[in-house]
A = this chain, B = another copy of it.
Amino acid sequence: MEAKAILQQHIAKTAVLTEEEFDYFYSHFKPLSFKKGQTIISAGDKVNCEYFVISGCLKAFFINDEIKMYILQFAMPTWWASDYTALYNQTEATINVDCISDAEVLCLSNEDREKLCKEFHQVEHFFRWRTNKGYIASQKRLLSFMNNNVKVRYEELLALYPQLYNLVPKHLIAAYLGVSRETLSRLYNS
């Protein structure tokens, strides 16, 4: 399936748009292809867009002073990714986004999103719903962080996204769970 149809199906779950309206909506998205390892957003950048994943897998991550990486999100097909703090506040990126595998994405600028939200009530509805989903997921992850040890969190993650196990190197899973790769390695070899 091509990009347009994937986006259309994704949107149709929450918003009702005519073919014409969707065509217009879609015309604001810019298709981009990236190779494995390529960077989409670097800390320090001006952030203008958010990215809808068509194929492949991205990661959104933070690097601290001691050069340790923490992964905020893996973005698989039909997921969205960006540095939303930077995007909404028009500040410099503190979050990086790059490609775990070759990836195709659709890029939507902040201004275009806001414009489309204003023009179509249904588009605004869609984005409210999407953010809501994200918010709920984020709260759940936070709770799991406070409440569960690494082992439980690891099992939770694999139960939720079994694809990750083969797709993503273990040290990135560790970076998502917020533990050292050594600890994770010991964990599942027992």
A: residues with CB less than 8 A from B are 62, 64, 68, 70, 72, 84-85, 88, 117, 121, 124-125, 127-128, 131-132, 134-136, 138-143, 145-147, 178
Contact = CB atoms under 8 A, between A and B. Distances in A.
A124 B123 CA distance: 10
A142 B84 contact: no
Contacts of A131: 128, 131-132, 135
A133 to B, nearest CB: 8
A143 B138 CA distance: 11
8 contacts: A72-B142, A72-B143, A85-B136, A88-B132, A121-B124, A131-B131, A131-B135, A146-B178
A142 B141 contact: yes
B132 A138 contact: no
A interface majority secondary structure: helix
Contact of A145 (B64, B85, B145): B145
B147 A64 contact: yes
A135 B62 contact: no
Contacts of A85: 136, 139-140
Contacts of A121: 121, 124
Contacts of A136: 84-85, 88
A128 B117 contact: yes
A70 B124 contact: no
A119 to B, nearest CB: 10
Going nearest first, the 6 A-B pairs with the smallest beta carbon separation are A128-B128, A146-B178, A138-B138, A135-B135, A70-B146, A121-B121
Contacts of A178: 145-146
A108 to B, nearest CB: 15
Which of A62, A70, A136 has the largest number of chain B CB atoms within 10 A? A136
